[in-house]
C-alpha cells in the first residue's frame, strides 16, 4: 500500500474516532446545535496539539510578565 493511501486511511480512522467520541459527549444537545458545541472544542484541541512543542517556552516567558493585579487598567 502506498504512503498516500496509508495516510488517507489513518486520517479517516482518526476522524471516525473523533466523531464517535463526540457522539458520546453530545448528550442532551440538540443535533442542530451539536456543531456549535463540539467543533470549537475540536479546534481548541487541535491548536493545543500544534502548539505543544512551544508550551515550555511560553510558560517560561509568562513568568517574566507582570501580574494582572500590578497592571494599570486600560483607559
Q: Is residue 7 part of a domain?
A: yes
CA pair distance 41, 71, nearest whole angstrom: 31
What's phi and psi for 13, nearest 5 deg?
-65, -45
28-52: per-residue pLDDT in tens? 777 788 778 778 888 999 999 999 9
Query: How many domains does one find in the chain?
Result: 1
- State how far the Cα of 22 lies from the Cα of 42, in Å rounded to an integer: 9
Residue 32 included in any domain: yes
Can you give the residue range of the structural domain that contains 42?
A: 3-60
**Could you report the per-residue pLDDT of 51-72, keeping only the tens digit for each?**
999 999 999 999 998 887 755 6
Q: Is 68 domain-assigned?
A: no
pTM for the structure as a whole:
0.45
Tell me whether residue 73 is in a domain: no
Amino acid at each position: 500500500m502506498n504512503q498516500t493511501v496509508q495516510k488517507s486511511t489513518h486520517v479517516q480512522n482518526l476522524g471516525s474516532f473523533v466523531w464517535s467520541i463526540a457522539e458520546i459527549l453530545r448528550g442532551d444537545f440538540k443535533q442542530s446545535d451539536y456543531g456549535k458545541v463540539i467543533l470549537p472544542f475540536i479546534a481548541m484541541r487541535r491548536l493545543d496539539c500544534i502548539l505543544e512543542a512551544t508550551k515550555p517556552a511560553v510558560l517560561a516567558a509568562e513568568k517574566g510578565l507582570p501580574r494582572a493585579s500590578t497592571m494599570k487598567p486600560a483607559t
